[in-house]
Structure 1
Amino acid sequence: MKVLIIEDDAAIAANLYDYLQNRGFDVDVAGSGTAGLRFAIAEPWDAILLDLALPGIDGLTLCRKLRDEAHRDTPVLMLTARDTLDDKLEGFGHGADDYLVKPFSLKEVGARLDALIKRYRGQVTRQELRCAGVRFDLATLTVERAGRALKLQPKCLHLLRILMQSPHRVLGRAELEEQVWGAELPDSDTLRAHIYTLRKALTQPGEKELIQTVHGLGYRFIAGDDDAT
């Protein structure tokens, strides 16, 4: 997933960049409103983190131009020190999707980004995932591969859902551990053990391996280019 950070404070931009990159996002940074608007229009993004007090073009004007002139509906999370209700209403009125007041938690930024992107992609109300012959019914938490029912532990179900919702995307260890175990992070071998169990349940002899280890980075679910729904 691609995220654009438009922030002129180098320290804040660097912290956001490192955190999101470690979570597996493809991240770019613009240090001014002028450059940010140009980047935002030049290519598609899954989300934009937008500061308000920017040189060149302020964040409110940038967001309005993105919506009214460029006709882009990319999710925008505004980051600002302005914390009054009127400030927030002004941000939403200029086209922001969400609003976060500085100083903020990086984990909260990540959680809000996840929610915005899922809603943008239509994944909030989706009841079924299909990838590479695997069918995951999110309502009943049942999983099948090639018509074969699979028995999975709750943590493995959680891992599989996360991986299938972003096929081909490399998901870092820290991101997976945070999403599955929350604040009670497991020891270093727990994630690896659950991935092994999940692979064993998914794959019979002669079947394609679906979960790939990307050494030094994390894991990803491999699906055909056209079969992820």
Structure 2
Amino acid sequence: AVLERLQPESCCIYSATPFEPLNFCSRRGGDLASIDSRGGGGEDIQLSDKVKELLELKEVPECRIRYTEIPKKRHPSNATPAEITKHGMDSSYVLESLLACWPCKEDLLGELQFVFVCFLVGHVYPCFEQWQKLVRVFCTSCEAIDRYPDLFSDLVSVLHFQLREVPCDFFVDIVSRKNFLTEALASLFRNIAESDLPDNTPTTLKMKASRFKISLTKLMGWSFDEEVPEDDQPVVVELPSND
């Protein structure tokens, strides 16, 4: 069901997105051919305009992977300022919106696996971008962990096997030199540790996340015990003294 919903209508994926002209027809070709490109400046501008029209492209609908759209709005419409701030730090509302798009909540993990395979095998970069977005939503969801511990346990298993397929520096931004995934996973581990779930048995999510964290440190050399990122730290406002 997950595959049928996500795969393009053509049942083919492409590393380079197929495009087609928006309004291409033979009349435009005739108009373009009738223009003398060797004329003066005005004619050159006219030719340029025609070329621009021909270059108005859109993605071929039959070749489009049907991703679940990530909501742009991170909070309910009637949210108070305090709730807006809360939802800005906790992606549980966004995650709930994504889960509601599927008949079974585990299907969202199916999409996470689908887009990862499409990128890894088919070199479809938009799939990698969708994978990043989904991982970030999962990792920055706090309250959802207490509601869906089994879902997050499956998430840990999925990421465990996915990350064994890529080199340790794969997620490092070549410009900022920051590793998006270590920051996301640090949030996930912190959220799980601070959840209200029990932690006294080997099968609990907390123990599973702890083992995953240790395995990544050994396998990738990543450290998750650093201080909270500056963007996530509370803002300290110094008030002027009355002296």
Q: What TM-score comes out, normalization by structure 2 length? A: 0.27
**Higher normalized helix content (fraction of residues):** 2
**Higher normalized strand content (fraction of residues):** 1
Q: What TM-score comes out, normalization by structure 1 length? A: 0.28
Larger Rg computed on CA atoms: 2
